């Protein structure tokens, strides 16, 4: 059974801008997939729709299944998303950390869907939960910074903290929306290494939106390419070529860069 099933989804914004047009694909357990395409191709919109942060269009037969459960159909997000979200980790380019809180407390927010609301509201975490957060920070290489305010850390460290937050969730699906776009090459490579390690060791299914072709080729076994809201390629990374990326981006693109 595929963990992510996307069937004929479209998304049109109020300005009549077509962000996605009849997109379909499945992603199986344990895959690490790169989502690529030029600016405006619909990558971020697709990530947000799979995470049920956006609605698909009402018209048509579009639907989204996660973990075998329908979470969106006919422009409506189903109540099943409440249970699914517990095992769905989303990583954004902007990190989405609370700057005044420590890294440890930011990571602990990944447990909010797994505990009573009153404990989460009061910030009452058990010792076992704190240990889990520290283990996650250790796995991503920033345990020494666990007590530091998130705002004092580098972009790469903050992004690794965001990944640690998905670890404490026990996320079986990780959706990463351009997680390395704002990072320097060394920090970006470390973040991609961390995602690849989680994919390999935890068998997490990863869909990562990228504009650096180098990382798609280095860390992902499959590429899904969007252009003008449509899916134009879905296949093995080894089946791509410099000519393919040149056509995708409308100009000559080396394998080690693809600027948006």
Mean pLDDT per segment of 10 residues, for the chain of length 260 residues? 94 88 96 94 95 91 94 92 90 86 91 82 87 92 93 91 91 94 89 94 95 91 95 94 86 51
Other CB atoms within 10 A of residue 167 CB: 23
Alpha-carbon distance of 43 to 179, in angstroms, equals 12
Q: Is the dihedral of CA 105, 54, 86, 44 positive or negative?
A: negative
Note the pLDDT tens digit of each residue in 49-91.
999 999 999 987 899 999 999 999 989 999 999 889 888 999 9
Q: What is the pTM of this model?
A: 0.89
Task: Show Cβ contacts of residue 236 under 8 Å, excluding neighbours closer than 6 positions.
Answer: 221, 222, 223
Beta bridge partner(s), residue 191: none
Q: In this predicted structure, what is the pLDDT of residue 41?
A: 92
- The length of the chain in residues reads 260
Per-residue DSSP letters for 74-118? TTEE-TTHHHHGGGEEEEETT----TTSBHHHHHHGGGGGGS-HH
Q: Phi/psi zone of residue 253: left (φ > 0), alpha (ψ -120 to 50 degrees), beta?
A: beta
């Amino acid at each position: 059974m595929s963990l992510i099933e996307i069937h004929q989804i479209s998304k049109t914004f109020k300005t009549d801008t077509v962000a996605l047009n009849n997109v379909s694909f499945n992603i199986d357990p344990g895959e690490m997939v790169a989502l690529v395409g030029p600016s405006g191709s619909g990558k971020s919109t697709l990530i947000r729709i799979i995470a049920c942060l956006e609605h698909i269009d009402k018209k048509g037969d579009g639907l989204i299944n996660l973990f075998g459960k329908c979470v969106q159909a006919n422009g409506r997000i189903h109540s099943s998303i409440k249970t699914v979200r517990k095992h769905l980790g989303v990583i954004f380019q902007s990190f989405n950390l609370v700057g005044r809180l420590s890294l440890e407390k930011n990571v602990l927010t990944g447990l909010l869907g797994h505990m009573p609301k009153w404990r989460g509201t009061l910030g009452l975490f058990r010792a076992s939960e704190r240990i889990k957060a520290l283990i996650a920070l250790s796995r991503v290489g920033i345990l020494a910074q666990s007590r530091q305010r998130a705002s004092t850390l580098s972009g790469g460290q903050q992004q690794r903290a965001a990944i640690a937050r998905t670890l404490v969730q026990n996320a079986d699906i990780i959706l990463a929306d351009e997680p390395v776009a704002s990072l320097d090459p060394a920090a970006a490579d470390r973040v991609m290494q961390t995602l690849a390690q989680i994919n390999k060791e935890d068998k997490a299914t990863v869909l990562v939106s990228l504009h650096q072709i180098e990382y798609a080729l280095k860390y992902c076994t499959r590429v899904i390419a969007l252009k003008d809201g449509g899916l134009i390629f879905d296949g093995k990374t080894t089946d791509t070529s410099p000519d393919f990326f040149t056509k995708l981006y409308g100009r000559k693109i080396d394998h080690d860069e693809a600027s948006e």
